[in-house]
Amino acid sequence: MDFLKDGFFNAFILLFQGHDETYDAIFTTLKVSSFSIMISLLIGLPCGFALSYYNFPGKKHIRAVVDTLLSLPTVVVGLLVYAFITRKGPLGDFNLLFETSGIIVGQVILILPLVVSLSATGIESLDERLRNTLITLGATPRRILISTLYESRFAVMTAAATAYGRAISEVGVSMMVGGNIKWHTRTITTAITLETGKGEFAMGIALGLVLLLISFAVNGALIFFRKRS
C-alpha cells in the first residue's frame, strides 16, 4: 500500500508544481479533443438532423450502419487512419502521420457516429407538431434546422458530452497515428500507458486524476445547463 500512498503524494506534487511534461500532455489532449468535437458537431448535427427528419431510400440501412459504428474499436480506427495517411497511403502527401492533425482526423472518425446517432435519436423524440408548425409558418430549411436543434438541445448536449468523453479517453488512435511523441503528440492516455509501463506511477496517477476532473467538469456543465434551461 505504501507505493499507492507515495504515488498519490507525488502525483499531487507534480500537478501543483506545474511539471512541464505532465501539463504538456494535458494541453495536447485538450487541444486535440476540442478540435475533434467541434468538427464532429459541425458535421454530425446536420447529418443527424437529416437522418431523423427526412425519409429517403436506404435510410434504415444507413441508420443501422451508424448505430453499429458506435462500438467501433479505437485500434481499428487507428489502423485504418494509419493506412491512409502513412507515406505509402493515398493521403500520405498531407503529412498527417505523427502529427496532432492526424490524431484529430482519427478522433473525428471515432466520435462522429456518436454525434449523428444520439442527435438523431433526440430529434426523433420531439413532438411531430413542431415540424408541421415550422412548415406552416414558412420557415426556411436553415431555420427548421436551427429550431429543431434548439428544441432537442438536451440531446445535442448529451451527444457532445458523450463524444468528448470518448475522445479524451481513447488510446488506440493517439498511440498509432500520433506515435506518442514527447512534447509533440503525447496525450494523457498515451502518457499514462507509457509511464505506468515504466513504473512511474506518480505521473500516471496525476494524469489519471486530471482525466477524471475533465470528465466530471464536462458532466457537471451538462447538468448545469439542463437545470438552467
Task: Give one DSSP letter per residue of 13-44, joined into a string.
Answer: HHHHTT-HHHHHHHHHHHHHHHHHHHHHHHHH
Cα distance between residue 73 and residue 190, in whole Å: 16
Give the model's pLDDT for residue 132. Answer: 79
Domain residue ranges of the chain, discontinuous segments joined by +: 21-228
Task: Provide the pLDDT confidence category of residue 53 given band limits of 50, 70 and 90.
Answer: confident
- Using the predicted structure, report yes or no on whether residue 31 has a pLDDT greater than 70: yes
Among 3.10.100.10, 3.90.1170.50, 3.40.50.1360, 1.10.3720.10, what is the CATH number of 21-228? 1.10.3720.10
pTM exceeding 0.75: yes
Q: How far is CA 189 from CA 13, 24, 87, 94, 209, in A?
A: 20, 13, 26, 26, 11
Instruction: Report which DSSP code applies to 69.
Output: G
| Residue-wise pLDDT tens digits, 63-87 | 999 999 998 899 999 999 999 999 8
